[in-house]
Amino acid sequence: MKFTLATAVAVAASAVSAISPRATTDTEMGWGKALAGDSSACADLGVIFARGTFDPGNIGPWVGAPFRDALAAKTKSVSFQGVDPGAYPADLAGYVVEGGSEKCSLSMGVVVDAYVKACPKAKIAITGWSQGALCARKSFGVMSSASAAKVIAYVAFGDPYPKSALATMILELPKQATKQLITLASDIKNGHLQRWMLSPQHFWYGLDGSTTKAAEQVVAALNGSKKK
């Protein structure tokens, strides 16, 4: 499967600071108004997304933006939020050294707790792509049990990126890899090179229907939760 969707019993999230209601192709601040105290901005479904390594904005253009758009096409009451870049730079160190940013998972949990408090009737989906998927997974256990009870889905888009995203990787990898040479040398010695290699198909989740399929299943989980 190209993405994983699971019912969750624990949660995670992102830093409340620096969230304001504005959106661009690679940035989404859908939770901003609700976190600022506007209860009318609460949605039935609150989605938080952690972008992949080197992605711009707070959701990135390759997977986060298409997934957001697919969800918006499936349900009218959805609020989409990216993890604060100030807490989660999505750099190489977070991926290689930490196996997924600890600051990202902590940030995710904090914001989910805040959104659940602001919008107690909302259901939550924890989502991410590439390193962001690691962050999303690690964030389970950070949030409160009350927030965890609101989580209906966990969506992880693959381990690996479209050609322009790959170009970004080619440009950024040499700049940041110099700081990780000891780790790289160790991986070469021990035959653990897979985590340094991103296959071309890793960039295509936003174009191959994966985001649409994931959106359909998340909305199905939301509708199912309303029947309970």
Under DSSP, is residue 40 helix (H, G, I), strand (E, B) or coil?
helix
Please tell me the pTM assigned to this model: 0.73
Distance CA 84, CA 175 (A): 23
Per-residue pLDDT of 152-176, as tens digits, reads 888 888 633 334 444 444 444 444 4
- Mean pLDDT value of segment 61-65: 90
Per-residue pLDDT of 188-224, as tens digits, reads 445 443 443 343 344 444 445 788 888 998 999 999 8
Domain boundaries in the chain?
Answer: 3-213
* Sequence-separated (6 or more) residues with CB below 8 Å from residue 7: 152, 153, 154, 221
| CATH architecture under which domain 3-213 falls | 3-Layer(aba) Sandwich (3.40)
